[in-house]
Amino acid sequence: MLQGAPLPERIIELLPFGSGPLGTAIAAILGAALVGTLMMSMTAVAGPWAKRKVTAAFTDRYAVNRLGPFGLFIIIADAVRLLSKELIVPEGVDRPAWDLAPVVLASSALLGFAVIPMGSGIHLADPEVGLVYVFAIASIASLGLVMAGYASNNKFSMLGGLRAVAQNLAYEIPLVLIAASVVLFSGSLQMSEIVARQAEPLLSLGPVTIPTWYAFVNPFAFVLFVIANLMEVGRNPFDIPEAPTEIVAGYQTEYSSVYFVLIYLGEFLHIFLGGAIIATLFLGGPAGPGPESIGLVWFIVKIWAVYLFTQWARSALPRLRIDQLIEVGWKGMLVLSLANLVMTAVIVGVIA
């Protein structure tokens, strides 16, 4: 199933529209809707509920517990609350850039999931340049941040937007360089190929077989990537573009109601996309014990593990200053990721 045809092609077979342009389009939309809904519902759980619960657990509190089991229905209550709020459009905002920014933010993250193999046969598309595509699409978010910051006609937003650009510049490059070291191992940019390569056994300890997940093969790259990813998605200690205590809410200061929901959604989708990339590149994608058909479960578990890590960092670490972050990025991460790339190249070249 893992190496099966992409999801839309199998939907075509189930539908009576044939494999013409119409059938392909309908199948693609249905497949995308399935993946999109899955990710959005995870975000819905993560945003209004899990984030509160996790933070509460870290800080000795209870958090939401009044509506439904474990307070889960707060998701519905919050959705209604947020959507029914007045959308305030400040004077002097630069429309339509101001209106587009939240859409760009949310959709760029969502589009990235198109090439992620999620197991259980859920894999929308598998282009040969899948890895490049996912990084390219994820960094469109930076554009959204600049749009939001620049168009809001607010100095705090402006500062937030500028910080976002500086930060993303400093972290895109190490991120891609570390990913390139994985490509050296796998020899392919295709996501399904990267996952397939990690299924090979690394070593056997009696009944337990440790697969060649790249997190085990190259833990150094894994740690670097997790850090760089934290910076990419802008969570503590790197939530500098938002920095609530310094610049109010950064680029999202002027957004309310639905636009705020979209930005919030975009942020969480980005965390999950980051988790998906980490899972695919380093943790064997949907691989895990049990039959292959439950691959999706393992995949979601891995994404949530990354999500929990971001929440842990949020609760425990102070925020860096923007100049310190740039310094860490250009002087630390870039050098380390280059070293990692060269080392990997040498190892791969000598062994292979």
Partner 1 sequence: MSLHEPETPDVGETADGTVDYDELAALLGETAIDREEHINAPAFVVRPDEVQEALSVLHEEAGFDYLSNVTAQQYADRYESIYHLKKYDDPTQEVGVVVPVPTDEPVSQSAEAVYRTADWHEREAYDLVGIEYDDHPDLRRILLPETWQGHPLGRDYNPEKPQVVPFRKHENPLQPDTRGEGADADTMFINIGPHHPATHGVLHIKTVLDGEQVADVEPDIGYLHRCEEQMCQQSTYRHQIMPYPDRWDYVSAGILNEWAYARAAEDMADIDVPEYAQVIRTMSAELCRIASHMLALGTFALDVFGDFTAVFQYAFRDREVVQNILEELTGQRLMFNYLRLGGVAWDVPEPREEFFEMIRDFLDGLPEKTKEYHNLITSNEIFQVRCVDTGELPPEVAKQYGATGPVARGSGIDFDLRRDDPYGYYEELDWDVITEEGCDNYSRVLVRLREVEESAKIIEQCVDLLEDWPEEDREIQSNVPRTLKPDADAEVYRGVEAAKGELGIYMRSDGTDKPARFKIRSPCFCNLHTLREMTEGEYIPDLIASLGSLDIVLGEVDR
Interface with partner 1, residue 85, by CB under 8 A: no
Comparing CB distances to partner 1, the nearer of 71 and 250 is: 250
Shortest Å distance, C-beta 282 to partner 1 = 24
Q: Which of residues 147-176 bind partner 1 (CB under 8 A)?
A: 155-156, 159, 163
Nearest to 256 by CA among 104, 130, 98, 141: 98
Shortest Å distance, C-beta 223 to partner 1 = 16
Q: Which two tokens stand for residue 59?
A: 């800080």
Judged by CB under 8 A, the stretch of 29-37, 111-119, 283-291, 321-329 that binds partner 1 is: 321-329
Comparing CB distances to partner 1, the nearer of 64 and 276 is: 64
Near partner 1 by CB under 8 A: residue from 52, 53, 123, 319: 319
# residues near partner 1 by CB under 8 A:
29
Strand ranges for the chain from DSSP E? 201-205, 208-211
Interface with partner 1, residue 81, by CB under 8 A: no
**Is 226 in a helix, a strand, or coil?**
helix
Comparing CB distances to partner 1, the nearer of 51 and 197 is: 51
DSSP summary character for residue 86: -
Are 128 and 190 in contact, with CB atoms under 8 Å apart?
yes
How far is it, in rounded angstroms, from Cα 180 to Cα 349?
14
Comparing CB distances to partner 1, the nearer of 134 and 226 is: 226
Shortest Å distance, C-beta 332 to partner 1 = 12
| Buried/exposed code over 119-154 (b: 16+ C-beta within 10 A; e: otherwise) | bbbbbbbbeeebbebbbebbbebbbbbbbbbbbbeb
Near partner 1 by CB under 8 A: residue from 21, 59, 86, 207: 59
Near partner 1 by CB under 8 A: residue from 3, 41, 293, 324: 324
Q: Which of residues 229-248 bind partner 1 (CB under 8 A)?
A: 236-237, 239, 243-248
| Buried/exposed code over 195-210 (b: 16+ C-beta within 10 A; e: otherwise) | bbbbeeeeeeeeeeee
Nearest to 118 by CA among 32, 43, 185, 46: 32
How far is it, in rounded angstroms, from Cα 217 to Cα 220?
9
Are 251 and 262 in contact, with CB atoms under 8 Å apart?
no
Near partner 1 by CB under 8 A: residue from 317, 335, 339, 345: 317
Comparing CB distances to partner 1, the nearer of 162 and 276 is: 162
- Cα–Cα separations (whole angstroms), residue 301 to 105, 272, 279, 290, 351: 25, 11, 10, 14, 33
Near partner 1 by CB under 8 A: residue from 206, 323, 350, 351: 323
Other Cβ atoms closer than 10 A to 229? 24
Near partner 1 by CB under 8 A: residue from 227, 322, 333, 336: 322
Judged by CB under 8 A, the stretch of 70-78, 97-105, 194-202, 313-321 that binds partner 1 is: 313-321
Shortest Å distance, C-beta 121 to partner 1 = 39
Nearest to 225 by CA among 183, 267, 179: 179
Shortest Å distance, C-beta 316 to partner 1 = 6
Interface with partner 1, residue 278, by CB under 8 A: no
Report the sign of the C-alpha dihedral through residues 53, 57, 58, 62, in that order.
positive
Interface with partner 1, residue 320, by CB under 8 A: yes
Interface with partner 1, residue 314, by CB under 8 A: yes
Report the interface residues with partner 1, using CB under 8 A.
55, 58-61, 155-156, 159, 163, 236-237, 239, 243-248, 314-324
